[in-house]
Chain A
Amino acid sequence: MGKKELKVAFFLAWRSLRRGSRSSAILTILIVGMCFTNMIFLPSLFAGIGQTIKTQIVDYEVGNVLVSPQAGEQYITDLDATLDLINSMPGVERATPHYAKGATLKYRQRILGSSIRAIRPTDEKSVSPIYEKMIAGSYLGEGDTGEIIIGKIIAGDPTIPAEEEFYSSLGGVRVGDSITVEFGNGYTKDYRVKGIFSTGWTSSDNSALITWSDMELVEGGSLDKAEYITLKTKPGYSEKFVKDELVSYGVSSQVHTTDDLLSKAIGSVLQSFDIINMVSLIVSIIITTVVLFIVITIKTINSRKQIGILRAIGVDKEVIMHNYGFQVIILATFGIMLGVTLAVLLALYLSYHPIVTPEWSAYMYLTPMDLVSNSLILFAAAIVAGYVPAYQVSREEIQSSMRA
Chain B
Amino acid sequence: MIECRDLRKLYQMGNVGVRALDGIDLTIGKGEFVGIMGPSGSGKSTLLHMLGLLDIPTSGEITLDGIDVNTLNDYQKTMFRLYKLGYVFQDYALVPELTVAENVSLPAMLRSDRTEEEFQAATEDILQRVGLSDRRDHLQKELSGGEQQRVAIARAIVNRPDILFADEPCANLDTENSTMVLDLFDEINHDMHQTIVMVSHEDWHKKYFHRIIRLRDGKIVEDNHALS
Contact = CB atoms under 8 A, between A and B. Distances in A.
Interface of A: 2, 4-5, 7-8, 11-12, 15-16, 18-20, 305-306, 308-317, 319, 398-399, 402
B153 to A, nearest CB: 12
Interface stretch (B75-83, B172-180, B201-209, B212-220): B75-83
Given A312-B87, A316-B75, A398-B54, A16 B97 contact: yes
8 contacts: A2-B112, A7-B109, A308-B93, A310-B93, A314-B81, A314-B83, A319-B110, A398-B54
Interface residues of B, number: 31
A399 B54 contact: yes
B95 A306 contact: yes
B97 A398 contact: no
Contact of B85 (A2, A311, A314, A317): A314
Contacts of B139: 19
A402 B110 CA distance: 21
Nearest to B95: A306
Contact of B112 (A4, A305, A317): A4
A315 B112 contact: no
Contact of A313 (B79, B82, B96): B82
B186 interface: no
Contacts of B79: 314, 316
B95 A4 contact: no
Nearest to A14: B97
A309 B95 CA distance: 10
A8 B96 CA distance: 16
Contact of B78 (A4, A16, A314, A402): A314
B106 A399 contact: no
B66 to A, nearest CB: 19
A127 B30 CA distance: 96
Given A8-B110, A309-B93, A314-B78, A15 B55 contact: no
Contacts of B75: 316
A11 B109 CA distance: 10
Given A314-B81, A314-B85, A398 B107 contact: no
A7 B81 CA distance: 20
Contacts of A398: 54-55
A398 B54 CA distance: 7
A312 B54 contact: yes
Nearest to B114: A4
Given A305-B93, A306-B93, A399-B55, A313 B112 contact: no
B156 interface: yes
Contacts of A316: 75, 78-79, 82, 110
Contacts of A312: 52, 54, 81, 87, 89
B109 A8 contact: yes
